[in-house]
A and B are shown apart, each in its own frame.
Chain A
Amino acid sequence: MAIPISIFYYIYLIFVAIFLIFTFFNVYHLLRFGFLSLGNIAVTFFYITITILILSVSWGYLNQIDWQQTFSIIPQLP
């Protein structure tokens, strides 16, 4: 039975979506309940920058993969 490897990509996207939701709430809390110091804003921007960097590098690698490939979960007999 052949399964496309894109299934892992979709699972990955679900985890990225959860990550983005938690990021939003963390940044929201920091800006809503923290106080607007330069240090606080710098930390938030640093966090967002590194997040974009991780996602960009990941996208660079993921883009090179052919997601139409399949793999077999039942070993094929020769």
Chain B
Amino acid sequence: MMIKFFIPNRLHGEKIIFLLRRHPMILLAKLINWALISVLPLIFYWLLSDSISRIFPGTIFMPLVILFTSLFYLYIWLFAFASYVDYYLDVWIVTNQRIIDIEQKGLFSRVVAEQKIDRIQDVTSEIKGFFSTMLDYGNVYVQTAGEKERFVFKQVPAPYQVAKKIGKIIEQNQRKNQAKK
């Protein structure tokens, strides 16, 4: 099921070694942010209901409050869901033959890039900042041969272990290629 949905143009004998997404804390932080914003209309209403009712006459005040509140919560809910979709669809897959970078950029842009394992030259991990250090998440940079940009696994859990595992896969691949020769 995973292979069917995630690997574009699957190669012969290709197996998923691991599949990475951002650390769940990144999603949680976004959801907490939307939850905090959702309290704003209540505070706004509590503080300014008297002034607003004076600005807008009686017939129009309540309909406006209901329409605005309804739209506000609908869109907060939509943005929270979009945060989840963005988190869920940004995936980095390492197989025994290649690395695939799938990123959902907004609603109508999806970028899929891939690179063969034997073209990888360097793998670096980076943990930067207080929360990243405490929760052990960060970036993994995969530098490939040629002029192509390096791959970045963004805010993935345990970046050091991920870099180490990719290094091992590269070694295994090199040994296999040498044995074939």
Contact = CB atoms under 8 A, between A and B. Distances in A.
Residue from A15, A36, A43, A71 having most chain B Cβ neighbours under 10 A: A71
B81 A26 contact: yes
B89 A9 contact: no
Nearest to B6: A35
Given A35-B1, A55-B74, A26 B60 contact: no
Contact of A12 (B62, B67, B82, B85): B67
Given A19-B74, A26-B82, A72-B57, 18 more contacts: A9-B67, A16-B74, A23-B78, A25-B107, A26-B81, A26-B107, A29-B85, A29-B107, A30-B89, A35-B4, A51-B77, A54-B77, A55-B74, A57-B70, A61-B66, A65-B62, A67-B63, A71-B57
Interface string B94-119: 00000000101001101000000000
Give the size range of B's interface with the partner. Answer: 20 to 34
Interface of A: 5, 8-9, 11-12, 15-16, 19, 22-23, 25-26, 29-30, 33-36, 40, 43, 47, 50-51, 54-55, 57-58, 61-62, 65, 67, 69-72
